[in-house]
Amino acid sequence: MKKSIKIGLLVLIHWYMMANVYAQDLHFSQFFNSVLTTNPANTGFIPDADFRLGAHYRNQYSALLAAPYKTISIFADGQLLRNQIENGWLGIGGVILSDVAGSGGLRSTKIYGSLAYHQQLGNSSLLSAGFNVGWANKRIDATKLSFPDQFDGKFFDNTLPSSVMLTNSAISYVDIQAGLNYAYFPTEEIYINGGYSIQHVNGPQETFFSGSVDSSRIPMRHIGFLNAMLKVSDRLIINPNMYYTNQARSSEFLLGMNANYNLSGSGDKQFIFGLYYRAGDAVIPMVGFELNNIRFTFSYDATTSALRNFNNLRGANEFSVIRKGFYNESNSASHQVFCPKF
């Protein structure tokens, strides 16, 4: 009896997660390291360098599902016309996202190109506006899917007939995101930055089934963030962060802080540690290091919701690597740095 109840609960949890995955966009706990997807106005806004390259990997529910959700992101962005536009410049970049979700082999591939303009307002603030345009593709292997009417009371049997019929096994569409950022840096020890962006502003259609256009349009996703970098000593810079996103009836709120501890006089070796909380879902410790402008960070989502009774707190793990640099070394001496540094 207990075994049947547990199987039933796992079935319900499985379908609950599948419903959420189909309804929501990809997300990262380290949103501050996924700069172009958080806000396209971040494109080319690199307070202490000319360009950056990054990669991101997330593995979710590996303790609960035989086929966990895996997300990979690769991005690059840089500054253009820094010396040709008075107190301003252009940012250009791109990001590739790949995601595999669930036992049905739902695969998502998204490729975006980003453009932003940055204008200084006096000596202590900066206003940025940007957008990205992308191509998204999703495909699914229907032979790996099981539907509610194929549940025999104990197991799913996909050899049984089902009333659920997929019209398409692959779909593609154009997707657009736009955003604004504002940064304030009154001294060399204080940097504050906030932004707002909207994804799916063109209302693309996404469905594997036949149906009306309006019912299959992706709801706009609103994203807001606020962060600061505060140099509290020659050895320590703290970085509090806040993030909120809302899409249709789903929302996500993260709050926390990480810190960089200087291990060398020049700051080329730094230890990184932090802690975040996703409301109603997970506590997220983070650790990493920075070596010669290459930053490595690892975080782990420890589940705090009711799901912890089934996954034993093991929610997701995430790894990020970001490299920053200058087009040539002479730029490093003349480049105006907007954020605290060692």
For residue 55, pLDDT beyond 70: yes
Distance CA 109, CA 137 (A): 5
Q: Which overall architecture, per CATH, does domain 2-334 show?
A: Beta Barrel (2.40)
**pLDDT tens for residues 66-93?**
667 889 999 999 999 988 888 899 999 9
pLDDT given for residue 213 in this prediction: 60
Of 4-13, 23-32, 117-126, 314-323, the poorest mean pLDDT is in 4-13
For 288-324, write each residue's pLDDT tens digit. 999 988 999 999 998 888 777 766 767 789 999 999 9
Tokens at residue 202, please?
Answer: 């063109």
Identify the band that residue 63 occupies on the pLDDT scale cut at 50, 70 and 90. low
Q: Give the strand pairing for 250-262 and 236-247.
A: antiparallel
Q: What is the pLDDT of residues 184-199, one digit of tens each?
A: 999 989 999 999 999 9
User: Where do the structural domains in the chain lie, given as residue ranges?
Assistant: 2-334
Give the Cα separation of 245 and 203 in Å (integer). Answer: 17
Q: pLDDT tens-digit profile of 16-44?
A: 444 343 445 678 999 999 999 999 999 99
Task: Quick: pLDDT tens for 158-192.
Answer: 666 666 666 777 889 999 999 999 999 999 899 99
Three-state SS across 69-82?
EEEEEEEEEEEECC
Strand 294-303, strand 51-60: pairing: unpaired
- Within the chain, strands assigned E span 51-60, 69-80, 88-101, 106-120, 125-139, 170-187, 190-199, 221-231, 236-247, 250-262, 269-278, 282-291, 294-303, 314-325
pLDDT of residue 209: 72
- Rounded to an integer, what distance in angstroms lies between the CA atom of residue 140 and that of residue 30? 27
The pTM for the full model equals 0.84
Q: How confident is the model at residue 341 (pLDDT cuts 50, 70, 90)?
A: confident
Long-range contacts from 162-167, C-beta under 8 angstroms, 24+ separation: 165/209, 166/140, 166/142, 166/208, 166/209, 167/207, 167/208, 167/209, 167/210
48 vs 293: CA distance, rounded Å:
10
pLDDT score, position 264 = 84
Max CA distance (Å), the chain: 74
CB distance 193 to 224 below 8 Å: no
The more confident residue out of 216 and 218 is 218
Q: 9-13, 37-41, 216-220: which range is least confident on average?
A: 9-13
